Chain A
């Protein structure tokens, strides 16, 4: 599989070796050394995926991510220096799809990049039902939109995929690892906090009362599920 990847990283050694590794894996790599240059390069070249360092000169990686999200749905993978939950939350809030913790080995990074690209390819040839109904939510799977009472609810790619994955089988419990595999595309070596953070953000958007969720439920000790529709409705 090949694709065009924009790598925004200020450290020249990391930039060079990462470029080398990604090229060896068959990707075409574009680079930028600071946030502003990265944003310009993104607009000029329209890459298939962006690898974004968090700490960048001139324009912060999170800010770059927000800008990219305003303009497109191109997958963004953050390179974070630390694995704190707060960093994951901040990254996902900025619209990132995934994060890779530094230091990383090339095979790990390549696997994450491939997974993110695969998800993008999968949604092009969509499977399953074209539309889902979840309580008062209308989900247009093919059109990738969610609406309640005729009003669109903007979801990120990850949030949408998560909702569709759960919504296709109401009542079935999905473990965190299963969701990591199906939505993010990699198995237990990933961090299951990613799932929890993404679920929290999804609830904040689709639940009438995010503190007392009625659509996406936690199953203690097991994972998450979508409530089965009540027979009466």
Chain B
């Protein structure tokens, strides 16, 4: 965004700079030409007057450089303006009206001298003694005797100072430079503002896009006007509308689906309740049944149990979807809770617990759901393999973890994340009595406890599930759960460290 604005500003300033430069140079050349034209016209007029009126009137033949002053011509020339002159008398010497012009004759351009020799009035721009000057030259209008083969009339070189032109041009240059600088600075400031103005809708658009990306589907760009940006804003808003309505439709159908599942599982509950009670009565009477009926009754009892698990799990997930579940955290000894859960659910599993109490803020009932489902999973998918359950404290105080590891067939690396998807079955033929929702439920329960549940391949074969519980306030040292004392008050002491610690 910043880059675009800078580029736009630079382009605008460059445009202004080119315009200023063009106008400046044009003005300079124009003024220069006009000043020189004016000086030249004036000088030519003066020179013509001098040569055609003053000189013929006062000049006598045989005049030389030495006697020229006495004719009063130089004074007469001076009366008509600021002019100096060089008069070339040929053999009669060279007259200069001021010492500064001594030797200047040789420096006059050849073109000037040749036009004078040809009898024409000529001019040239020259620098005399470092000063700029306009030299206008010619011979007096009085024609010499035609017999005189070498021209006898002296050549007059009138030197008009042109310094005022350079002075004026110099001032113009300074003026133009200052004006250009001011114009560029103004252009720079204006360009910044203009660029921002032009880019404001783009900026608004990117803010709106960021809001949409952040989940706020109501973000729109203020439109208006009829330029390309307004068309773009309208297009952007149309896209946002369509996105919002698509997502709204998806959400509506999603929540409809969830409501449907919730209602179905709720409606199933009454017949399932009857079925479960009936199956339990039949189970108690199995021995009294004839053998084929007995086998059918056994299958019936097992299938009713499966149905019950399925409906229970569906109900549980529906409650998560409806956000009807909330955790009631309390301090508990993780090792003790895990020990009793494993003893009740899978007594054959090897349990490794720390020798000291590991106190976490959690909920025993939900830990029982999580570990129960993990143990069920191990029993179903790794039947016959040793199952190991371990409780460990993160040495950096970042929490505690429970791992459930088996030596079953394991799961392909890329299928690991899908394990927690609803109804995901690695091998449908090995699903046993599970609903396919057990791990999804365990994962949801863990989330509710602020914990994470992950699965990984175990080195040497098998799966390992890790439940990481967050660090919470713990008992102070010596404040052992079974110690009986008046300081064992109702609420956790707010002054106790906020990191999990184990008390020996």
A residues in contact (CB < 8 Å) with B: 11, 13-14, 17-18, 20-21, 24, 81-82, 84-85, 102-107, 109, 171-173, 188, 191-193, 196, 212-213, 217-222, 225, 227-228
B269 engages A221 (CB within 8 Å)? no
B332 engages A14 (CB within 8 Å)? no
Within 8 A of A (CB), among B45-65: none
User: Quick check: is B272 within 8 A (CB to CB) of the other chain?
Assistant: yes
Contacts of A227 in B (CB 8 A): 486
A187 to B284, CA, bound (A): 22
Sample of 7 A–B contacts (CB below 8 Å): A11-B274, A13-B274, A102-B273, A103-B269, A104-B273, A106-B280, A218-B490
Most buried by B among A193, A220, A225: A220
B284 engages A106 (CB within 8 Å)? yes
Partner of B269, one of A20, A85, A102, A109: A102
Number of B positions contacting A (CB below 8 A): 42
Interface segment among B11-19, B357-365, B370-378: the answer is B357-365
Contacts of A104 in B (CB 8 A): 273, 276-277
A227 to B315, CA, bound (A): 41
- Min CB distance, A160 to chain B, in Å? 22
User: Quick check: is B481 within 8 A (CB to CB) of the other chain?
Assistant: yes
Partner of A17, one of B269, B281, B364, B365: B281
Contacts of A18 in B (CB 8 A): 277
Contacts of B331 in A (CB 8 A): 220-221
How many residue pairs link A and B with beta carbons under 8 A? The number is 95
Partner of A106, one of B277, B357, B489: B277
**A17-B278, A17-B281 known; A221+B359 contact, CB < 8 A:** yes
B residues in contact (CB < 8 Å) with A: 266, 269-281, 284, 308, 311, 315, 319, 324, 328, 330-333, 340, 344, 357, 359, 364-365, 475, 479, 481-482, 484, 486, 488-492
Residue on A with the closest CB to B479?
Answer: A220
- Min CB distance, B126 to chain A, in Å? 111
A220 engages B488 (CB within 8 Å)? yes
A13 to B492, CA, bound (A): 49
- Min CB distance, A197 to chain B, in Å? 10
Contacts of A191 in B (CB 8 A): 365
- Min CB distance, B324 to chain A, in Å? 7
Closest 9 CB pairs of A and B: A105-B280, A103-B276, A13-B274, A221-B481, A103-B273, A222-B481, A106-B280, A220-B331, A102-B273
A219 to B481, CA, bound (A): 7
A222 to B148, CA, bound (A): 146
